């Protein structure tokens, strides 16, 4: 047995085989897959084998499209059959909310090049005649939907990988993974020890156990899943005589998916009475096994299915397949380099392996070989969960996700399971003030404060929600007087040491500030893509505070640790430094009433240590609201005292607390972008306008500099702009297509309603050659073409006097 390899992949399901193949496809041939039993053992062999492109995240949808198109390539390479059935599929809508979701998805697909379409009940009857259309108002049709042979497909991946030089060892059980001081790994198996530069955990049902060998907790959990295969169905037999195969039908109302299987039908359920499996760990003795049939938990789903698909009730059940497969808390895969563990990679939690497995393999292979994937994979990055996550959190979230697998996913929805989990010292105070909570990265964050008859719960909707008036009230309070909110949802880092400035000059593309000043800077990948949007505060010559997105902290921390150097001390202080933002024309008056420091001398982008009330603070003059404002940071132990001080002083100035709904409206007044909307690894600094913060004059070869300079010399093909939209009752959420002269030429990144200007605003990309102030376009919102035009003048404080002035 080979004793050394560049990459050891643990797990021989479809995902492990895909990673193996893609590593060889991109040029690494010294790669090995280790499987304790046979290929496809675990979840792969009993999967229903369906595939589809529909996914709320556009990058995930694109990767699913890649996966589906890859199967024909595999067949051509290997001469093996994947058992492909490209029959198409419809996703039904029986109410307006579900139909709105499908309209929003279809709009996204336009600029992605996916050939989906909205179809009427009459068209559904022709496409999917097995469906009872009572109550159905429409559907989304996807010609790429279909199903395949799970075993044949996995073995095709394996053969293609072997053809590329890969080695596969079945009946080889991994017993330990031990890291050497140089970062490489000893993978101990029952047939000997293999020395590997990299380890990939593709353990599927056993991913938790494989991770534990390296001291890593993977937030995933297996769930029982059941589907039925019927005897022959006369309608299907008749269709086959005419050379047709029935398409897939996804019925969210019935929590089911249906497809043809032979001359019968196959139907599976995501039932509400679901059951987690192997709560305390997956037995190593489990393999190509099934669970006992359990019709009780799917009884309600079956009753509903008989009404939606009457032919089911008239057909006998031929087979019942009941087996486990794994979910992460949000249902997306866990992929990428594991934070804090060198050369250890995750390819776990891929519950939709035949829709996503190819894309997962490609992205992970690019990440390993090229240093980064070609697109933003935040939705499946293993770093989207921090070290705060636990089995006690994972289990209820996985159950919730399973139950909502086919439910409507609203842009403003806040899911309740495992909450509240992480809170700040302000949680009880804000709750008593009417806080309506959301969450980010497991942390409770105020969306808005309900007063009077304002709703204490925001109803999920694709249209303007019932929190509209409360948000407007908070925006007025900020713009007319002063508002206060927490700064807990910023990621914060302390960088100290004699080489701190030099290190920051390499890791960040922008200019590093002098003591007592701030600067804004992008952080770039090797290829010049945006991987961070930072404020850098220079507290002294060798001490800096960095702030960025709270939800990206594990991702950013992984990058910092990868590039750490001697003479630099880096600490994640996201939860060790908290405080408040105060913003509005009276913000300076409130702060001055709380400190003996002369606040009037603080210029825009200044930072200073000062005592506020009884609390030692770091105060910086900057605000994401685009108004006169201050961010005030302190030790969380002193936060409640700081609150009492600021709130008491604010009463003379009609201070209002405000939440994230108001913040997102306020930032639109100034066309400020937000992380993972306008700024993400899909975009570059030049096309988003972030290049204005890049210091090309500094004598440092910062990461991404060469790529950045090359793009600057060539010019960006697209440009981020702002639009004023003639919206009706729904504003842009993100990824709506932008039409010009009857063609889709761009897309929106985010949007909403500016309560200050009383206008609907969107941000998005247009081809650079088309950009002009006042350019008339149309934006498709929930199936309607809404007139819009490019605006270049900010809606508030256009000359910056209030934000920057004395």
| CA distances (Å), origin 79, targets 27, 73, 74, 160, 520 | 21, 10, 8, 10, 54
Q: Above 80 in pLDDT, residue 47?
A: no
What value does the mean pLDDT take over residues 459-463? 95
Rounded CA-CA distance 122/532 in Å is: 48
Interval 392-448: pLDDT, tens = 999 999 999 999 998 888 999 999 999 999 999 999 999 999 999 999 999 999 999
Interval 708-766: pLDDT, tens = 999 999 999 999 999 999 999 999 999 999 999 999 999 999 999 999 999 999 999 99
- Give me the percent of the chain exceeding a pLDDT of 70: 100
Q: Above 80 in pLDDT, residue 42?
A: no
| Confidence at residue 110, expressed as pLDDT on a 0 to 100 scale | 85
What value does the mean pLDDT take over residues 452-459? 96
- Among 159-168, 352-361, 455-464, 480-489, the minimum mean pLDDT is found in 352-361
What value does the mean pLDDT take over residues 646-658? 98
Rounded CA-CA distance 211/232 in Å is: 44
Q: What is the DSSP letter of 764?
A: E
Interval 174-229: pLDDT, tens = 999 999 999 999 999 999 999 999 999 999 999 999 999 999 999 999 999 999 99
Tokens of 56: 């709320």
Architecture of domain 4-327: 2-Layer Sandwich (3.30)
What value does the mean pLDDT take over residues 297-314? 92
What value does the mean pLDDT take over residues 376-387? 94
The domain ranges of the chain are 4-327
| Confidence at residue 459, expressed as pLDDT on a 0 to 100 scale | 96
Rounded CA-CA distance 402/86 in Å is: 26
Q: Above 90 in pLDDT, residue 40?
A: no
| Confidence at residue 463, expressed as pLDDT on a 0 to 100 scale | 95
Q: Which helix (H) or strand (E) holds 192?
A: strand 192-201
Interval 720-734: pLDDT, tens = 999 999 999 999 999
What value does the mean pLDDT take over residues 560-577? 96
Helices (H), 605-741: 639-650, 660-669, 685-688, 705-714
- Among 108-112, 142-146, 682-686, the minimum mean pLDDT is found in 108-112
Three-class secondary structure of residue 76 per DSSP: helix
What value does the mean pLDDT take over residues 621-629? 97
Confidence band of 675 (pLDDT split at 50, 70, 90):
very high
Q: Above 90 in pLDDT, residue 352?
A: no
| Confidence at residue 41, expressed as pLDDT on a 0 to 100 scale | 82
Three-class secondary structure of residue 147 per DSSP: strand
- Give me the percent of the chain exceeding a pLDDT of 90: 88
Three-class secondary structure of residue 586 per DSSP: coil
CA–chain centroid gap for 589, Å, is 40
Catalogue the long-range contacts made by 284-289 (C-beta closer than 8 Å, 24 or more residues apart): 284/36, 284/173, 284/206, 284/209, 286/42, 286/205, 287/37, 287/38, 287/41, 287/42, 288/37, 288/38, 288/40, 288/41, 288/45, 288/46, 289/323
What value does the mean pLDDT take over residues 537-550? 98
Rounded CA-CA distance 658/474 in Å is: 6
Interval 481-514: pLDDT, tens = 999 999 998 999 999 999 999 999 999 999 999 9
CB 622 within 8 A of CB 661: no
Q: Above 90 in pLDDT, residue 516?
A: yes
Q: Above 90 in pLDDT, residue 71?
A: yes
């Amino acid at each position: 047995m080979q004793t050394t390899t560049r990459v050891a992949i643990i797990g021989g399901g479809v995902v492990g085989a895909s990673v193996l193949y893609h590593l060889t496809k991109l040029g690494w041939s010294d790669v090995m897959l280790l499987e304790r039993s046979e290929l496809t053992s675990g979840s792969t062999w009993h999967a229903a084998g369906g595939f589809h492109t529909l996914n709320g995240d556009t990058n995930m949808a694109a990767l699913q499209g890649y996966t589906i198109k890859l199967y024909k390539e595999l067949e051509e390479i290997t001469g093996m059959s994947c058992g492909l059935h490209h029959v198409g599929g419809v996703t039904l809508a029986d109410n307006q909310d579900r139909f709105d979701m499908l309209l929003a998805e279809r709009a996204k697909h336009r600029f992605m090049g996916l050939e989906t379409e909205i179809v009427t009940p009459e068209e559904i009857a022709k496409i999917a005649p097995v469906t009872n259309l009572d109550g159905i108002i429409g559907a989304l049709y996807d010609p790429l939907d279909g199903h395949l042979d799970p075993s044949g497909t996995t073995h095709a991946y394996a053969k293609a990988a072997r053809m590329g030089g890969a080695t596969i060892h079945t009946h080889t059980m991994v017993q330990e993974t031990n890291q050497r001081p140089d970062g490489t790994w000893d993978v101990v198996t029952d047939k000997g020890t293999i020395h590997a530069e990299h380890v990939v955990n593709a353990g599927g049902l056993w991913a938790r156990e494989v991770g534990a060998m390296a001291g890593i907790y993977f937030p995933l959990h297996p769930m029982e899943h059941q589907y039925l295969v019927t005897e022959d169905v006369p309608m299907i037999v008749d269709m086959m005589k005419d050379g047709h195969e029935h398409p897939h039908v996804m019925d969210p109302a019935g929590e089911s998916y249906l497809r043809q299987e032979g001359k019968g039908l196959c139907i599976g359920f995501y039932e509400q009475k679901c059951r987690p499996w192997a709560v305390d760990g997956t037995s190593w003795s489990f393999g190509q096994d099934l669970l006992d049939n359990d019709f009780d938990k799917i009884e309600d789903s079956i009753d509903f299915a008989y009404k939606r698909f009457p032919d089911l009730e008239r057909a006998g059940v031929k087979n019942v397949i009941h087996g486990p497969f794994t979910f992460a808390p949000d249902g997306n895969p866990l992929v990428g380099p594991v934070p804090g563990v060198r050369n250890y990679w995750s390819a776990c939690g891929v519950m939709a392996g035949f829709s996503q497995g190819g894309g997962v393999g490609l992205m992970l292979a690019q990440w390993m070989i090229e240093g980064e994937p070609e697109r933003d994979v935040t939705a499946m990055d293993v770093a989207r969960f921090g070290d705060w996550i636990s089995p006690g959190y994972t289990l209820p979230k996985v159950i919730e996700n399973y139950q909502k697998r086919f439910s409507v996913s609203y842009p403003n929805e806040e899911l309740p399971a495992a909450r509240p989990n992480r809170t700040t010292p302000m949680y009880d105070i804000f709750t008593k003030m009417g806080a309506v909570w959301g969450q980010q990265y497991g942390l409770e964050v105020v969306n808005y404060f309900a007063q009077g008859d304002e709703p204490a719960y925001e109803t999920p909707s694709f249209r303007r929600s019932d929190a509209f008036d409360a948000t407007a009230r908070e925006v007025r309070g900020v713009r007319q007087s002063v508002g206060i909110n927490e700064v807990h949802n910023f990621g914060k880092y302390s960088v100290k040491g004699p080489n701190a400035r030099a290190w920051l000059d390499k890791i960040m593309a922008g200019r590093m500030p002098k003591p007592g000043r701030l600067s804004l800077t992008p952080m770039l990948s090797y290829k010049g893509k945006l991987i961070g949007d930072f404020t850098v505060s220079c507290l002294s010559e060798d001490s800096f505070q960095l702030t960025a997105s709270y939800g990206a902290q594990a991702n950013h921390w992984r990058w910092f640790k990868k590039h750490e150097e001697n003479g630099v001390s880096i600490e994640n202080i996201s939860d060790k430094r908290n405080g408040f933002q105060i913003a509005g024309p009276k913000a300076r008056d409130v702060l001055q009433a709380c400190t003996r420091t002369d606040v009037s001398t603080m210029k825009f982008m200044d930072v200073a240590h000062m005592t506020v009330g009884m609390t030692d603070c770091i105060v910086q003059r900057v605000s994401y609201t685009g108004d006169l404002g201050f961010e005030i940071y302190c030790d969380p132990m002193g936060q409640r005292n700081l609150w009492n001080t600021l709130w008491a002083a604010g009463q003379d100035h009609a201070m209002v607390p405000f939440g994230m709904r108001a913040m997102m409206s306020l930032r639109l007044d100034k066309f400020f972008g937000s992380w993972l909307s306008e700024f993400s690894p899909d975009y570059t600094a030049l096309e988003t306008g972030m290049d204005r913060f890049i210091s090309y004059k500094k004598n440092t070869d910062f990461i991404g500099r060469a790529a950045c300079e090359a793009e600057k010399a060539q010019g960006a093909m697209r440009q981020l702009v702002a639009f004023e939209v003639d919206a009706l009752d729904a504003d842009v959420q993100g990824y709506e297509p932008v039409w010009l002269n009857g063609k889709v030429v761009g897309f929106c990144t985010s949007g909403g309603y500016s309560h200050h200007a009383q206008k609907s605003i969107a941000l998005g990309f247009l081809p650079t050659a088309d950009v002009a102030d006042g350019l008339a376009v149309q934006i498709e919102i929930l199936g309607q073409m809404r007139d819009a035009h490019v605006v270049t003048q900010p809606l508030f404080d256009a000359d910056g006097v209030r934000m920057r002035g004395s």
